[in-house]
């Protein structure tokens, strides 16, 4: 199905007239399964809560949110999902593929709203984007050739780019597709691409040693919540070793990294509130189309570029949504 058709279906599904729950005495309880910590995901939780308030939900009055945080350790997901099930939440909201898989496996009877899930069809989370089926719906971060676009950005800013390290998580089912995209783009550009796997924070040191030993010209980072959790360590490593990098999340650039390109994740969390609202009012998750990203952001850190002795071409700067000076 074409992107335009899916977007049209989403708009129709979510635009039904809504009676604000602030006018009802019902108190709804939903769960939010976070990948890292409340502090590290504050910029995502904030828009989600704002979206709920705009729909008439007032925390402590007609809505209770049960938060559970994995602190960057995916092995904690099963236990956290069980906790949310015992809390009798009506919906679980989470971001990313590993957390979504954990909810489907551990609490399949609870409706799931996925935010920024990688490839929900390819990883078996839903049957299709238009009609997900089952008990899951939400928003996907997948886009055609996203990894290729990040690699192309590196080629534009790094003279004679020939060797790139790819930071990925072998435990993330989506990375199978993303890695294939990246390798295809690297072949087109004539660039050698080396995979460096990290499943959890404890493996970062070994990954850094591998990258340092292989001496690439730069590296790219796939979208994974472990990496978002460890943003400071990754950005500091790149700066210390003078490695240009393009990241999946703007938070890495805000932590001192060079560039990021990807969907607007804060806006996706805000949009997730509409899915919660529809399900609480009786919609079946499997009938609500998966929403595709419509806005992508390019973030450039000029301070980091100066530290790396890189000149960012004007052709890149004019495409940037945010420039940190």
pLDDT at residue 24 in the model: 54
Residue 149's pLDDT is: 92
- pTM score: 0.81
> How is the chain split into domains, by residue range?
3-143+265-294, 146-262+297-324
| CA torsion through residues 295, 267, 275, 54, sign | negative
Q: What is the pLDDT of residue 133?
A: 95
Angle of the 174-189 helix axis to the 146-157 helix axis, nearest 10? 40
Instruction: Tell me whether domains 3-143+265-294 and 146-262+297-324 share a fold.
Output: yes
Region label for 215, one of left (φ > 0), alpha (ψ between -120 and 50) or beta (otherwise): left
pLDDT (0 to 100) of residue 14: 61
Measure the CA–CA gap between 165 and 96, rounded to whole angstroms: 22
Q: What is the pLDDT of residue 17?
A: 42
Task: Please say whether the beta carbons of 141 and 263 come within 8 A.
Answer: yes
Tell me what pLDDT residue 21 has. 44
* 315-323 contacts, C-beta under 8 A, 24 or more apart: 315/156, 316/153, 316/156, 316/157, 321/297, 322/250, 322/297, 322/298, 323/299
CATH of segment(s) 3-143+265-294: 3.40.50.2300
Radius of gyration of the chain (CA): 20
Could you tell me the fold of the domain covering 146-262+297-324?
A: Rossmann fold (3.40.50)
Over its length of 325 residues, how does the chain's per-residue pLDDT go in tens digits? 555 554 545 555 565 444 444 445 689 999 999 999 999 999 999 999 999 999 999 999 999 999 999 998 999 999 999 999 999 999 999 998 899 999 999 999 999 999 989 889 988 999 999 999 999 999 998 776 788 999 999 999 998 999 999 999 998 888 888 888 899 999 999 999 999 999 999 999 999 999 999 999 999 998 888 898 899 999 999 999 999 999 999 999 999 999 999 999 999 999 999 999 999 999 999 999 999 988 889 999 999 999 999 999 999 999 999 999 9
**CB distance 94 to 100 below 8 Å:** yes
Under a CB-based contact definition with an 8 Å cutoff, are residues 221 and 167 in contact?
Answer: yes
Note the pLDDT of residue 20.
46
Q: Are 260 and 299 in contact (CB under 8 A)?
A: yes
Distance of alpha carbon 168 from alpha carbon 155, whole angstroms:
20
Residue 248 contacts residue 222 (beta carbons within 8 Å): yes
pLDDT in tens, 226-275: 898 899 999 999 999 999 999 999 999 999 999 999 999 999 999 999 99
């Amino acid at each position: 199905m074409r992107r335009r058709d899916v977007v049209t279906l989403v708009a129709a599904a979510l635009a039904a007239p809504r009676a604000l729950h602030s006018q009802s005495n019902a108190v709804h309880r939903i769960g939010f399964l976070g990948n890292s910590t409340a502090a590290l995901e504050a910029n995502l939780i904030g828009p989600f809560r704002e979206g709920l308030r705009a729909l008439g939900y007032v925390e402590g009055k007609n809505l209770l949110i049960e938060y559970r945080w994995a602190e960057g350790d995916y092995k904690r997901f099963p236990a956290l999902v069980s906790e949310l099930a015992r809390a009798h939440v009506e919906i679980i909201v989470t971001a990313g593929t590993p957390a979504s898989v954990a909810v489907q496996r551990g609490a399949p009877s609870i409706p799931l709203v996925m935010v920024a899930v990688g490839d929900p069809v390819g990883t078996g989370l839903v049957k299709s984007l238009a009609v997900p089926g089952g008990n899951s719906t939400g928003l996907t971060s997948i886009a055609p050739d996203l990894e290729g676009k990040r690699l192309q950005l590196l080629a534009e800013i790094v003279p004679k780019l020939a060797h790139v390290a790819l930071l990925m998580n072998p435990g993330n089912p989506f990375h199978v597709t993303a890695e294939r995209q990246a390798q295809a783009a690297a072949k087109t550009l004539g660039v050698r691409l080396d995979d460096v796997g990290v499943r959890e924070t404890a493996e970062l040191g070994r990954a850094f040693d591998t990258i340092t030993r292989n001496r690439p010209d730069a590296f790219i980072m796939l979208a994974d919540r472990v990496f978002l959790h460890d943003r400071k360590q990754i950005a500091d490593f790149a700066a210390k070793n003078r490695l240009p990098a393009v990241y999946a999340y703007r938070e890495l650039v805000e932590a001192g990294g060079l560039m990021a390109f990807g969907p607007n994740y804060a806006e996706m969390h805000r949009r997730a509130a509409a899915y919660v609202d529809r399900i609480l009012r009786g919609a079946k998750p499997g009938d609500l189309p998966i929403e595709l990203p419509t806005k992508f952001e390019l973030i450039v850190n000029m301070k980091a570029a100066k530290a790396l002795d890189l000149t960012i071409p004007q052709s890149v700067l004019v495409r940037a949504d945010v420039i940190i000076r």
